Structure 1
Amino acid sequence: MSTDVRGIVAAGKGEPVEVTTVRVPDPGPGEALVRVQACGVCHTDLHYREGGVSDDFPFLLGHEAAGVVEQVGAGVDDLRAGDFVVLNWRAVCGVCRACKRGEPQYCFDTHNAAQPMTLTDGTELSPALGIGAFVEKTLVHSGQCTKVDSSARPAVVGLLGCGVMAGIGAAVNTGAAGLNDTVAVIGCGGVGDGSIAGAAMVGARRVIAVDTDPRKLEWARQFGATHTINAAETDTIEGIRELTDGNGADLVVEAVGRPETYEQAFYARDLAGTVVLVGVPTPDMRLELPLLDVFARGGALKSSWYGDCLPSRDFPMLVELYQQGRLPLEKFVTEEISLDEVESAFDKMHHGDVLRSVVML
Structure 2
Amino acid sequence: MNPLDILRTQGLGLLAAIREAGDSDLLRATFSASQLVRYRRAAEMLHRAPLARQRLAQASLERILVITKHARGLRHGDRYALLAELALLDGSIDDIDLKARDIVRARNAGNGPNLGRRAVRGGKTTDTNGNRTFTVTGPERDIKRLLSTLDARARSLRAQDTALTYEQAMYDALMTSTGPAPYSLMPQVIIPLPDWLRLRSHDGDETIFAATDGTTVTGAELVSGLMADDHVAVLYEPLVGPVNAYRAQRHANSKQRLIIEGRDLMCQWPGCTTPATECQMHHVTAWKHGGNTNLDGLVALCRKHNGRNDDSPDRPPRNGRIDIGDDGSVYWSRGDTVRRNNHPLLDKSGRAVAKRVPQ
TM-score range, shorter chain: under 0.3
* TM-score (norm: length of structure 2): 0.21
Higher CA-based Rg: 2
**Structure with the higher fraction of residues in strand conformation:** 1
**Structure with the higher fraction of residues in helix conformation:** 2
